[in-house]
Amino acid sequence: MLNQTFLPASLYRGDVMHQWDIHTYANHYWHPVAATSHLQPGEVLAITMLNQPLLLTWPTGEHPRAFRNRCPHRGVALRQGGGTGQSCRRLVCPYHGWTYNLRGELLAAAREADFEQDFDRQGWGLQELACRIDGPLIWIALSDQALTLEEQLQLVHTEAGAAWNTASTLLRQSRSSLACNWKIAHDNTLDDYHVAIAHPTTLHREQGPVRDYRYRFSQHNNLLETPHPDGGRFLTFGLPPWSHLLVWPDGRLAWLEFMPERPDRCTMQLRLFATNNAIDSASSDAWLMQLLTFLEEDKALVESVQQGYQDEYTPGPPHRLERRILHWQGLYRERLGSAGISIEERSQEAISALSS
């Protein structure tokens, strides 16, 4: 793996790469769009992901479902966004009154007898997306190109399954914007070479000495395991498309994502989970502030890297503590290769071919 070079700077900038990332690369994976504790049976929740309006519903007695948040008649959003689920028996389009149940089936259209053509309700249901619960999160796939969720979360299931399946309560969450390409932030969070140097009083204290670092890799996941100062294992997972999971020995989970906004900007989203009543409000606040402190240290670094990547630049040689970066970048190379572009072709013409 260390014979591999880092991705060239040209893949970290430009609108063509950004569009490929959000419309092609993202379609190969499942995306966690809400905590299960934020949507209950009989509720709906409108969300936006990668600038796409989506609607989650949970029909009573069934499993959650996901739809494009647009009425098939004229494309109007059926619901406006909110932080948590809202009780709902029927979805009514605010434009022309078309009415749907929580399964996405059209129940009635206003003045239905007056359509110019024969009208069949069954042909006008909401556009549905694949939707599942796994761990404390509700997941969706934006296309049928996505690999299975079991493949995407393989190491999480095998190495942290107990904590993953019991830490069901969302305690705190935070969203902020970083002035860097998402791949820079994702690389950085996979970079174990910098932790002792850049985070000596924060993350380094959780992960411990470099000599104790242990790695595991599956096809799509990577894992850094270290002994925690309080005993037990501290686990740090790197997951596609742009996600990270931290697992503490006591079962607490931190889910971190870097979602593309623009070629030079991404959204950092952090969610903290634990079992019911395992941690009080003051401790939850302290835990959030602890994580935001080291993430703020990283913010200055990744925004500086973005400036360094603005023109032609070749990153230096990989260190053995950067193997997790190379593992993920290998997956990204494969996706680019399936689109017909070689990483070695760094010309603008080669990158522009992605948009064709």
pLDDT for 49-86, tens place per residue?
999 999 999 999 999 999 999 988 888 988 887 778 88
Q: Is 291 inside a domain boundary?
A: yes
Tell me how far CA of residue 189 lies from CA of 21, 148, 224, 271, 295, in angstroms: 19, 24, 11, 16, 9
Q: Are residues 77 and 189 in the same domain?
A: no
For the stretch 9-57, pLDDT in tens is: 999 999 999 999 999 999 999 999 999 999 999 999 999 999 999 999 9
CATH number at residue 211: 3.90.380.10
Structural domain including 218 reads 9-25+149-338
Is the pTM here over 0.85, yes or no?
Answer: yes
Q: Which of 94, 119, 141 is the last residue of a domain?
A: 141
Q: Which of 141, 160, 182 is the last residue of a domain?
A: 141
Two tokens, residue 171: 């305690």
For the stretch 257-308, pLDDT in tens is: 999 999 999 999 999 999 977 789 999 999 999 999 999 999 999 999 999 9
pLDDT at 312: 83
Contact 93, 116 (CB under 8 A): no
Contact 305, 184 (CB under 8 A): yes
Q: Is 343 inside a domain boundary?
A: no
Q: Are residues 72 and 165 in the same domain?
A: no
For the stretch 303-321, pLDDT in tens is: 999 999 988 888 999 999 9
Q: Which of 121, 141, 161 is the last residue of a domain?
A: 141
Two tokens, residue 233: 């294992």
pLDDT at 124: 82
Q: Are residues 202 and 331 in the same domain?
A: yes
User: What's the total number of domains in the chain?
Assistant: 2
Residues 223 and 219: their CA atoms lie apart, in Å, by 12
Residues 233 and 10: their CA atoms lie apart, in Å, by 38
Q: Are residues 13 and 98 in the same domain?
A: no
Q: Under 8 Å CB-to-CB from 219, ≥6 apart: which residues?
A: 151, 154
Q: Is 327 inside a domain boundary?
A: yes
Two tokens, residue 46: 């409108």
Q: Are residues 218 and 97 in the same domain?
A: no
Tell me how far CA of residue 234 lies from CA of 84, 175, 215, 227, 251, in angstroms: 30, 24, 12, 6, 10
CATH number at residue 123: 2.102.10.10
Q: Are residues 230 and 329 in the same domain?
A: yes
Tokens 């230096």 belong to residue: 316
Residues 253 and 256: their CA atoms lie apart, in Å, by 10
For the stretch 17-26, pLDDT in tens is: 999 999 999 9
Output the average pLDDT for the chain: 91
Q: Is 307 inside a domain boundary?
A: yes
Q: Is 348 inside a domain boundary?
A: no
